[in-house]
Amino acid sequence: MSTTLNAPPLPARAAKGLVLLICCAVVILPFVSVVSTSLATREQVTRSGGLVLIPDEISFAAYDAILSGGVVTRAMLVSLFVTFGGTALSLISTALLAYGLSRLGSFGHRPLLMIVLFALLFTPGIIPSYLVVKSLGLVDSYWSLALPVMINAFNVIILRAFFMELPEEIIDSARIDGAGDVAILWRIVLPLSKGVLAVIALFYGVGYWNAFFAALLYLNDFSMWPLQLVLRTYVVNQTQLGVDQLGVSGQALPPQESLQMAILVLSIIPILLVYPFVQRHFTKGVLIGAVKG
């Protein structure tokens, strides 16, 4: 009886449901339109004026064209290489630095912590960053996409806070058994930190996958461009995709709208595939490491 009395009236619940439905439609419909346009035929795209909401006939011609070995295929392989390699390097270096900072009294603890906090508050400008990368000889090298952003101060702070929340009794018992810092980190700390590590890996992976400005600054060779820079060139800037860029010959190209939307779908799919497996770790991995108690 009390539950019924305390429940909001029916018009209020209906209004909330309507607002929620409208918000979902605003979010979902553009994505559906992008996917539908990438799968539409030339006649459907021409008839609809550029964007298709529900295709009458499904065609994979746009995906066959952009994945035929041309610039888009090469750019996607570059993005996968940079994302996986950069995420692995960032995760390893962040875990090592965070573990060292979580051990109070370790060598250089306070100066390194001050440097990390300073990097969290102040970021370098474009010109100093470019001059540093150029002085190191990293221009036109994939290292320029990973080394300048290999360690993120925010991720270090989160991981350090999580490591400091681990029970000291477990680490002390491992030291009594003769385990060193490397063994403790590898056999005890990291297995207990799978949730927060998954979240940090997702943060780094999304950052590497979506990054295009660093490639625009440091990569002058068009063949080294990642997918996001190709996406910016051919979708945002509306540059025409031709036979030379796609690597196809002897066949009519799909409409430019379908090609552009297909590139956009390819740039979204990897994050959509990874996120559901990591989403359940967000509350456990971030909040436990950031909130005391």
Residue keyed to tokens 């980190």: 185
- Whether the CB-CB separation of 149 and 214 falls below 8 Å is answered with yes
Query: 253: which 2 tokens?
Result: 């190209």
Question: Are residues 8 and 119 located together in one domain of the fold?
Answer: no
Q: Express each pLDDT in 186-206 by its tens digit.
A: 888 888 888 889 889 988 999
Domain co-membership, 81 together with 197 = yes
Separation of alpha carbons 190 and 38, rounded Å: 42
| Same-domain check for residues 69 and 27 | no
Is the domain of 87 the same as that of 164?
A: yes
Burial of 232 (0-12, 13-18, 19+ CB in 10 A): middle
- Mean pLDDT, the chain, as a whole number? 84
Same domain, 91 and 170: yes
Q: What angle do CA 270, 271, 275 make, to 5 degrees?
A: 125
CATH code for the domain in which residue 91 is found: 1.10.3720.10
Closest C-alpha to 64, from 248, 236, 235: 248
Token pair listed for 128 = 């100093």
Is this structure's pTM higher than 0.75?
yes
Confidence of residue 174 (pLDDT cuts 50, 70, 90): confident
Q: How many domains does the chain have?
A: 2
Does 111 lie in the same domain as 46? Answer: no
Among 203, 195, 225, CA closest to 271: 203
Does residue 2 have a pLDDT over 70? no
Q: Are residues 144 and 22 in the same domain?
A: no
Which of 34, 59, 84 lies at the terminal end of a domain, its last residue? 59
Instruction: For residue 137, give both structure tokens.
Output: 């000889």
Listed residues 59, 80, 109: the one ending a domain: 59
Say yes or no: 41 and 71 in one domain.
Answer: no
Q: Give the pLDDT of residue 291.
A: 46
- Is 184 found in the same domain as 245? yes
- DSSP string for the chain: -HHHHHSPPHHHHHHHHHHHHHHHHHHHHHHHHHHHHHH--HHHHHHHTS--SS-SS---HHHHHHTSSSHHHHHHHHHHHHHHHHHHHHHHHHHHHHHHHHSTT-TTHHHHHHHHHHHHH----HHHHHHHHHHTT-TTSTHHHHGGGSS-HHHHHHHHHHHHHS-HHHHHHHHHTT--HHHHIIIIITGGGHHHHHHHHHHHHHHHHH--HHHHHH---GGG--HHHHHIIIIIS-PPP-HHHHT--SSPPPPHHHHHHHHHHHHHHHHHHHHHHHGGGHIIIIIHHHS--
pLDDT tens sequence across 254-285:
888 888 888 889 888 888 888 777 766 665 55
| Domain match, 123 and 87 both | yes
Q: Do residues 182 and 230 both lie within one domain?
A: yes
Do 1 and 81 share a domain, yes or no?
Answer: no
Which residue segment(s) compose the domain that 15 sits in? 1-59
Q: What is the structure's pLDDT at 131? A: 92
